[in-house]
């Protein structure tokens, strides 16, 4: 009910907002967020999670995405049928099943993850 705040900290920066799409939910349409998104259900549409340093999409083990993902950080442990583009880190955990291409700055792949597509680094090296 009440949040503990530190002196000089605004209410908006006190806690990062989190959106949870439940296991029984089916979303038909695009999702746009600037914070944390946890997906347990099914999305038919594109997902865009960018805008803040903590922006992250988590596709949990029971989740399914049919569409493209554009996220600052993407953690996948479910099924994604579409491309993943990230300006930050992409993690494929053991339950991940991705059918599409992945563009990333940094990448981690756990044993057992499946990728049917190409990976390409978009990390720009300094001169």
CA–CA separation, 77 vs 87, rounded Å? 19
* Number of CB atoms found within 10 A of residue 8's CB: 6
CA–CA separation, 83 vs 126, rounded Å? 27
In sequence order, what are the beta bridge partners of 11? none
Residue range 1-60, pLDDT digits in tens: 444 444 444 444 445 689 999 999 999 999 999 999 999 999 999 999 998 888 999 999
CA–CA separation, 7 vs 13, rounded Å? 12
pTM, two decimal places: 0.84
Is 91 in a helix, a strand, or coil? strand
Mean residue pLDDT across the chain: 88
Res. 87: pLDDT tops 60: yes
For 76, what's the count of Cα atoms within 13 Å in the CB-facing half-sphere?
A: 32
pLDDT given for residue 34 in this prediction: 93
Beta pairing, strands 26-28 & 89-92: unpaired
Res. 107: pLDDT tops 80: yes
pLDDT given for residue 54 in this prediction: 85
Taking residues 83-87, report their average pLDDT: 96
Residue 14: phi and psi, rounded to 5, are -65, -35
């Amino acid at each position: 009910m009440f949040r503990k705040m530190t002196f000089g900290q605004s209410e908006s920066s006190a806690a990062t907002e989190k959106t949870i799409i439940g296991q029984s939910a089916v979303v038909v349409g695009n999702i746009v967020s600037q914070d944390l998104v946890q997906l347990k259900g099914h999305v038919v549409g594109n997902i865009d999670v960018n805008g803040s340093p903590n922006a992250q999409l988590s596709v949990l083990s029971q989740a399914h995405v049919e569409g493209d993902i554009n996220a600052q950080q993407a953690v996948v442990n479910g099924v994604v049928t579409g491309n993943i583009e990230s300006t930050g880190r992409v993690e494929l955990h053991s339950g991940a099943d991705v059918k599409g291409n992945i563009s990333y700055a940094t990448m981690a792949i756990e044993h057992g993850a499946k990728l049917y597509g190409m990976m390409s680094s978009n990390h720009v090296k300094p001169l």
